Homo-oligomer: A and B are copies of this chain.
Amino acid sequence: MIDDLLSQPEALDAARGVRGADEVTEALARVAWSVIADPGDAVAATLVREFGPVDGLRFALEAPGRSWPVIRAVGARRALDEARARWRQRADPAAVIGALRGAQKAGAQLLLPGEPGWPIAVDDLDAEAPMVLWVRGRAEFLTSSARVAIVGARAATAYGERVAADVAGDLAAGGTAVVSGGAYGIDGAAHRAALTVGGGTVAVLAGGVDRPYPAGHRNLLARIADDGVVVSEVPCGTAPTRWRFLARNRLIAALGQATVVVEAGWRSGSLNTAGHAATLGRPLGAVPGPVTSASSAGCHRLLREYNAVCVTSAAEVAEMLPVDARTSGSQEATDRGRVQLLRALSTRTARTEAELAQRANLTVERARALLGLLDLDGLVRRDGHGWRGVGAAPTS
């Protein structure tokens, strides 16, 4: 299909409409991928990683007889055959051209992995990272130095919406971008509060960025597209489906440096977002509520079963962010990181860098660097099991 597309002036023209003149080939291939593969398709991701988007696409849509020496890299032959069958059904150059034209019409920008403006936070999703992102509005909020996902029940109570607004407003006023899903209830309260204080907010949609959903949030999403940013991995024109909502949740979790669930029923979809955050190693917070309220049962479940942090204010949410996201002075950040790391160390039990980073609310890279400094100061020691504090350091 990619060669079909490259031979069509209309396709090249459509691609140039959203991309400028350069890198049209890779852009066309990645858009084609986002048309033929579902969000989070790990087989597609493997082909792209092994061969690049262009050759990967060629392989994906090849006649099955032709032999490529890649089966091993791609994994099970059967999974590949099944994926190819799925992809071929959707491999229509007109659909790719339609996606590009739709984006142009909606004023949507196309972001590709590795390019400037691409939010590298989503690369933490590895094989489930998006192929492309379609963006309407101020894309810079996707890479804000501080970003918190605030999610919760659509059927929120007045209490939940009030707390969501208080927390989101305070965070946004302090320069933290508020990431959510644009839904009724908690999501909407969080977006609105961020807009109200003139802060940044990111709405991650399950359908195309030209398909405001829910319909009742048409105006809100238009405001977000003006003063914040609306983003999706699926092409313009795509309707949201149950599967796409679930897949979308992983993007919300990945874009936030921490995820906070404000209100959620026992089986709320927000728990799915929380699960993604936990899988990604992102700090997870839950706002408690009355135990007599079914709308808080999911939050209490997160506190009990997922070891979520109990958060009651924006200040407590900010404590969940990596130290470097919370403060601008680098010496101050280093000092705070040292203190948190010393608190996270035990003199008795060796802890891995990943564990210490999580306990100290630091990125693993930062924790590693700081451990090196502490090692030079003789405050920590390392053995086969990990790091321990030495003597006078606070223990836990």
Binding site for B on A (CB under 8 A): 159, 162-163, 287-292, 296-297, 300, 303-304, 309-313, 316, 348-352, 355, 385-386
In the bound assembly, the distance between CA atoms of A350 and B290 in angstroms comes to 38
Query: Could you say which of B300, B304, B349, B355 contacts A350, with CB atoms under 8 Å apart?
Result: B349
In the bound assembly, the distance between CA atoms of A311 and B316 in angstroms comes to 21
**6 further contact pairs, Cβ within 8 A, besides A288-B289, A291-B312, A300-B312:** A288-B300, A289-B289, A304-B309, A349-B349, A349-B352, A350-B385
* Contact yes or no, A303 B288, CB < 8 A: yes
Chain B residue with Cβ nearest A297: B312
* Contact yes or no, B292 A159, CB < 8 A: yes
Chain B residue with Cβ nearest A293: B290
Shortest distance between the CB of A358 and any CB in chain B (Å): 13
Q: Which 10 A-B pairs have the closest CB atoms?
A: A288-B288, A303-B310, A291-B312, A304-B310, A300-B312, A300-B310, A290-B290, A289-B290, A163-B291, A159-B290
Q: List 6 A-B contacts (CB under 8 A).
A: A289-B290, A289-B291, A303-B303, A304-B310, A310-B310, A349-B385
In the bound assembly, the distance between CA atoms of A343 and B350 in angstroms comes to 20
* Contact yes or no, B313 A291, CB < 8 A: yes
- Residue numbers in B under 8 Å from A159 (CB-CB): 290, 292
- Residue numbers in B under 8 Å from A303 (CB-CB): 288, 303, 310
* Contact yes or no, A291 B287, CB < 8 A: yes
In the bound assembly, the distance between CA atoms of A313 and B386 in angstroms comes to 39
In the bound assembly, the distance between CA atoms of A159 and B159 in angstroms comes to 15
In the bound assembly, the distance between CA atoms of A257 and B313 in angstroms comes to 32
Of the candidates A291, A313, A352, the one having the most CB atoms from chain B within 10 angstroms of its own CB is A291
Of the candidates A290, A296, A297, A313, the one having the most CB atoms from chain B within 10 angstroms of its own CB is A290
Shortest distance between the CB of A294 and any CB in chain B (Å): 11
Chain B residue with Cβ nearest A262: B291
In the bound assembly, the distance between CA atoms of A223 and B97 in angstroms comes to 82
- Residue numbers in B under 8 Å from A290 (CB-CB): 159, 288-290
